[in-house]
Amino acid sequence: MRLTTLRTPGGTRAARVEDGTAVELDAPDVGTLLADPDWRARAGQDGPAHVLADIDRAPLVPRPGKIFCIGLNYAHHIKEMGREIPEYPAVFAKFPDALIGPTDPIVLDPASTAVDWEAELAVVIGTRVRRARGAQAENAIAGFSVLNDVTMRDWQYRSVQWLQGKTFEATTPFGPDLVTPDELPGTIRPSLRMHCTVDGEIVQDTTTSDLVFDPVALVEYLSTIITLRPGDVIATGTPGGVGHARTPRRYLTDGAHLVTEIEGLGRLENTARSPEPV
């Protein structure tokens, strides 16, 4: 099953994606739909249909209660950053105001001159869980999506806490769809090709099998700290190839075209834009 969140003249609306169409569902967005324990049945209902090519997608879950991000979770990326494989996940957060839709512009805030890309597999929670283990953690995952954790490196490294560089407003594309595990090779621990391009040049290319802490392990770990609820999002970390690790360093500039794609999940296409002078 594939789900998405549309923008309509009356506001956002959850939809089921099938056969080149998006079928509206009786929920304002995917996060709200997942809050219903019977969401799978509701997702099968019929409603107004739209041609996919004509729709405008919002962030998949526009207002998650929690957005957890995992740093240094791909073995190759850890090595390129000169670090050791961690014993525990490096966890930080992001706020909903950072999220944008799959084709929305990335805002290049004038406060930063070092805006970097980070292609990521996103996990979306579908069941309330606390201290989940094994099958309970697996069953808590509603599905997967694509996210780019666009990062202001000069703000990230102002202190030992990363959050300030990770949650600038209108910087984080998320979507286009939620894809349930049964649709994917590897199901709940999917092995998918992921790549990111900047102006047509491949800058990141790996598979999600390079994750140090897989989606189930992350649900187990994070649900030990706090209750995970439907619509919560876990961005599982980025592979090697980020601009900050290059020589010379490379960052997004006005007009740069960023494409983030994971096989079976979909594609984000976003253009970096400097805001108009006030």
For the domain made up of 1-58, the CATH class stated in words is mainly beta
- Cis peptide upstream of residue 248 (ω within 30 degrees of 0): yes
- What's domain 59-273's architecture? Alpha-Beta Complex (3.90)
pLDDT score of 251: 98
What are the extents of the domains in the chain? 1-58, 59-273
Phi, psi torsion values for 202, nearest 5 degrees: -70, 120
Whether pTM > 0.85 for this model: the answer is: yes
Tell me if 156 sits within 8 A of 237, measured CB to CB: no
| Per-residue three-class SS string for the chain | CEEEEEEECCEEEEEEEECCEEEECCCCCHHHHHCCCCHHHHCCCCCCEEEHHHCEECCCCCCCCCEEEEECCEHHHHHHCCCCCCCCCEEEEECHHHEECCCCCEECCCCCCCEECCEEEEEEECCCECCCCCHHHHHCEEEEEEEECCEEHHHHCCCCCCHHHHCCCCCEEEEEEEECHHHCCCCCCCCCEEEEEECCEEEEEEEHHHECCCHHHHHHHHHHHCCECCCCEEECCCCCCCHHHCCCCCCCCCCCEEEEEECCCEEEEEEEECCCCC
Tell me if 157 sits within 8 A of 231, measured CB to CB: no
- pLDDT values of the chain reduced to their tens digit, one per residue, 278 residues: 999 999 999 999 999 999 999 999 999 999 999 999 999 999 999 999 999 999 999 999 999 999 999 998 998 767 766 778 889 999 999 999 999 999 999 999 999 999 999 999 999 999 999 999 999 999 999 999 999 999 999 999 999 999 999 999 999 999 999 999 999 999 999 999 999 999 999 999 999 999 999 999 999 999 999 999 999 999 999 999 999 989 999 999 999 999 999 999 999 999 999 987 65
What's the half-sphere exposure (Cβ side, CA atoms, 13 Å) at 171? 25
